[in-house]
Amino acid sequence: MVIDNYAMQRDERFFEDPERFEPERFAKGWEERIPRYAYLPFGGGPRVCIGNGFAMMEAQLILATVAQKWKRALESEEEIKPIQMLALRPAGRCGRG
């Protein structure tokens, strides 16, 4: 069975204005505001990824380090249209789409 995380995370039943970039939606207490399996970055249930806690901590440290050292800017104003394959990728930048 395959679960479409991309579609689940854009479901208006679980996330208000799901297309808007809003990192604050995952602020403290977010787990209580949505159903248990509406967000599955590491799977769920008895087979949840054993590295879940470590990966979340590591992601925060990497993001903080990158944000301090590099200036971020859009390469172009071109709209990026995602395509779903096994992993989500920007269309036209991976030889498909």
| CA dist., res. 82 & res. 6, Å (int) | 10
Domain ranges of the chain: 5-90
* pLDDT tens sequence across 17-58: 988 988 888 888 888 888 888 888 888 888 888 998 999 899
Write down the pLDDT at residue 93.
Answer: 59
| CA dist., res. 52 & res. 83, Å (int) | 25
Decide if pLDDT at 13 tops 70.
Answer: yes
Q: DSSP letter for 38, please.
A: S
| CA dist., res. 22 & res. 33, Å (int) | 15
